[in-house]
Amino acid sequence: MDSSNNLIIFDGICNFCNASINFIIQRDPKARFTFTTVQGKLGAELLSDLEIDPNDPNTFVLIKNQEVYLKSSAALEISKDLSGPWSLVSYLRFVPLFVRDSVYSLIAQNRYKLMGKRDSCMIPTPELKARFVD
């Protein structure tokens, strides 16, 4: 993987996760981020390497400049590179990690209840296909 690309690993059947990825794409005009799903070969392998169960992922992962970010730290690191005022969200990193990750985990554990899930992963449009790796 080209280290200049920031890879986000997400649950491809989760509607909440897909909405989050679409949110990122819309606010990433410089295409800084690339994406893969936990259901794909690359995503499953990377999660396994990180000792995260790809069959029960309760986090999405950001690999940026060969550094790994999990849970709220991943979300806040991503926000730093988004356009508009969204970069200001990154200042929430000053909230203690145990508080941030507790809130993150609560949402992650209930993500299917909140927004449901799909039978299969989303299929990117032809314009976005290059940003999805597997």
Is the predicted pLDDT of residue 8 greater than 90, yes or no? Answer: yes
What is the Cα Rg of the chain in Å? 14
The secondary structure element, H or E, covering residue 77 is helix 71-79
Query: Is residue 85 domain-resident?
Result: yes
Tell me, yes or no, whether 122 lies in a domain: yes
- Domain tally for the chain? 1
Task: Tell me, yes or no, if the pTM score tops 0.95.
Answer: no
Sorting pLDDT into bands at 50, 70 and 90, what band is 2?
very low
In a domain, 16, yes or no: yes
How far is Cα of residue 61 from the mean position of the Cα atoms in its chain?
5
Q: Which domain, by its residues, includes 88?
A: 6-131
Residue 15, Cβ density class (10 Å: 0-12 exposed, 13-18 middle, ≥19 buried): middle
In a domain, 27, yes or no: yes
Residue 124 pLDDT exceeds 80 = no
- Domain annotation covers residue 1: no
